Structure 1
Amino acid sequence: MTGRNKLKARIKAGETVAAAWLDLGSPDVAELLVHAGWDVIVVDCEHGAAGLEDGFNLIRAVEAAGGEAILRVPDASEAVLKRALDRGARSLMVPMVHSAQMAQGVADCCLYPPRGQRGYAAPIVRASGFGAIPDFARERAHEELLLMVQIEHVDAVSEIPAIAAIDGIDMVFVGPNDLAASMGYLERMDTPEVLDVVNKAEELTLQGGLSLGTVLWPNRNYRDLQQAGYRLIVGPCDVAMLANAAREARAACLDMLR
């Protein structure tokens, strides 16, 4: 919480925000993406190359370049969440939240008492500017936290109304491929059965007053997702952008040399 969470304010104001994935774990790539116009970057410590400690330095790189960072933590354990928050992550994405009970545990770990059970070390952590923000634990920590839970299993969809009632949860982030996989349709997100479940997740989330987030789908573009009510859409990944550019450059080279 080293500064005001502009991303949370943008989403609360109704803006649909587009972000990019940072999976290579490179601070240079982080800066490059921000300077290329991607002002919101998801630092991926679940599937990406960076471990949690490296992820904190990637947040610094994003912020130094003028962007806003979301940290996708590797899991929902108390130790991981507490450390991520103490080290200054303002926006957290928590993967594989399959139940309201699990979501409650996530929120409890992220909120100070009496709202939760987050361990107290406010005067010495980066989140408070190493004590420079005197009201951090009482006010700023909760005001500036953007907490997202990923719904990635069919069984979690029916839990969304209960999740929406949990203090501290701001967004349901739909993971369509894992959701499809849990139904036996891995990499077949556009099957009618999967679409019905996703539509239900969208409906329940909006009814519950939470914001919606997701990844960019192969057959659902930014406008489609915006019209469906999504306020965070995470699109291109640095790995894919580099790989695609490398393939295109190599194909162009071979065409000229034939």
Structure 2
Amino acid sequence: MNPLKKRMTMDGMVTAAWAELGNADVAEIMVRHGWPTIVIDGEHGIGDVETWVGMARAIESAGGEVVLRLPDGLDTTIKRSIDRGFRNFIVPMVNSAAQARAVVDSFRYPSRGKRGYAAPIIRASDWGVRTGYARDEAHDDLVIMLQCEHVDAVANLAEIATVPGIDAIFIGPNDLAASAGHLERMDHAEVQGLLKQIETVAARAGMPLATIVGAGRNWSDLERLGYRFAIGVNDVSMLIDSARRLAAERDGSKLSTPAAGY
């Protein structure tokens, strides 16, 4: 089984870090220094699918696991990314069950879905070495997390959660807050209420949850609440925080405000 998929079914919460800079060396350094699960951010980070493949090779060679947040849920984006060997995905801005079904179908070969066939000649099948890839492994090996980051998604979550093939709902609290009219105010009572609503609906449906650290919740809070996957730090903020701290030490001044994650 896909190691990440297996870990998400076990006790405890999988923790991860964002890779925003599109740099394979930076991602490898993060793996070798305590962050073995790296989420390559294809939505807001630097690079394209070939950049991300290079990063994935570095992460995996260091013993890490890779998750790719796609830039969108389009059929062509999914097809290119899965053919290039990614198997753990976060798909942004899924607001309805119809969208969720279309996304899941894009990951699957017919008759389960609508993915275009090129199994013997793609990196995903180890260039044809995995002869059973298209029949079984291509479907069973995937982790698909769909982002709930809009008030419309919250309203439709019970129906979204019934779509087969979803491994987790990933809450994007910043965008969720913005959609409710509270940009950069994740602590607002309405936003906190939406988070609790999502957690209640997901628990009722038996749907695992994933998210980022923040919105008033730290690692321990999220694990206590039953989240299966959480992302905390990112490479940009690590660099900014270290640069500020070292500059402050040099100047003998007080530390400036730490860089915000997201």
TM-score (norm 2): 0.94
Q: How does 1:247-258 map to 2 (within 5 A)?
A: 247-255=244-252
What residue in structure 2 maps to residue 160 of structure 1? 157
Q: Which residue of 2 aligns with 1:148?
A: 145
Percent identity for Structure 1 against Structure 2: 47
How big is each residue's C-alpha offset from its partner over 1:44-85, in whole Å with a ceiling of 9 and x where there is no partner? 111001222211211111111100000011111100001111
Superposed displacement of residue 107, structure 1: 0.3
Residue 100 of structure 2 is aligned to residue 112 of structure 1 = no
Report the Cα distance in structure 2 between the residues aligned to 1:182 and 1:126, rounded to whole angstroms.
Answer: 38
User: What does the per-residue CA deviation read over 1:70-116, in whole Å, with 9 as the maximum and x for residues that have no partner?
Assistant: 00111111000011111100101111111111111100100111111
**Secondary structure at the residue paired with 1:157?**
helix
Which residue of 7, 10, 14 corresponds with 1:13?
10
Q: Output the CA distance in 1 between the equivalents of 2:111 and 2:158.
A: 23
Given the alignment, which residue of 86, 90, 94 partners 2:87?
90
Where do 5+ consecutive residues of structure 1 fail to align?
A: none
Aligned residue identity for 2:239? L
Aligned residues of 1:44 and 1:50 also touching (Cα < 8 A): no
Which residue of structure 2 lines up, in the alignment, with residue 232 of structure 1?
229
- Alignment pair present for 1:25 and 2:22: yes
Q: Name structure 2 gaps, 5 residues minimum.
A: 254-262
Asked whether the 8 Å contact 1:111–1:168 carries over to 2, the reply is no
Structure 1 227/95 Cα, relative in aligned 2: closer, same or farther at 3 Å? same
Map Cα deviations across residues 105-161 of structure 1 (whole Å, 9 max, x no partner). 100100111111111111111000111111111111111100010011011012222
Question: Following TM superposition, by how much is the alpha carbon of 1:218 offset from its aligned partner in structure 2, in angstroms?
Answer: 5.1
User: Partner amino acid for 1:211?
Assistant: P
Matching residue of 2:72: 75
Cα separation, 1, equivalents of 2:2 and 2:34: 19
User: Aligned equivalents of 1:240 and 1:70: distance in 2?
Assistant: 19
What is the CA RMSD across the aligned residues, in angstroms?
Answer: 1.1
Once structures 1 and 2 are overlaid, which stretch shifts more, 34-43 or 6-15?
6-15
Structure-1 residue corresponding to 2:198 = 201
> Distance between the aligned counterparts of 1:115 and 1:19, measured in 2?
30
| Contact in 1 for aligned 2:12/2:223 (Cα 8 Å) | no
CA distance in 2, matches of 1:203, 1:158: 12
Helix, strand or coil: the match of 1:230? coil
Deviations 1:139-188 (A, max 9, x none): 11111100010011011012222222112111100000100000000111
Asked if structure 1 preserves the Cα contact closer than 8 Å seen for 2:187 and 2:215, the reply is: no
One-letter code aligned to 2:18: W
Which 4+ stretches in 1 moved above 3 angstroms?
A: none
Work out whether 1:36 is the aligned partner of 2:45.
no
- Tell me which residue corresponds to 1:245: 242
For 2:160 and 2:110, locate their aligned partners in 1 and report how far apart those are by CA, in whole Å: 20
* Inter-partner Cα distance in structure 2 for 1:156 and 1:171: 14
Task: Using structure 1 for the length normalisation, give the TM-score.
Answer: 0.95
1:182 equivalent to 2:148? Answer no
Letter in 2 for 1:27: A
Q: Tell me, yes or no, if the aligned pair for 2:173 and 2:215 is still in contact at 8 Å.
A: no
Note if contact 2:94-2:153 (Cα within 8 Å) is conserved in structure 1. yes
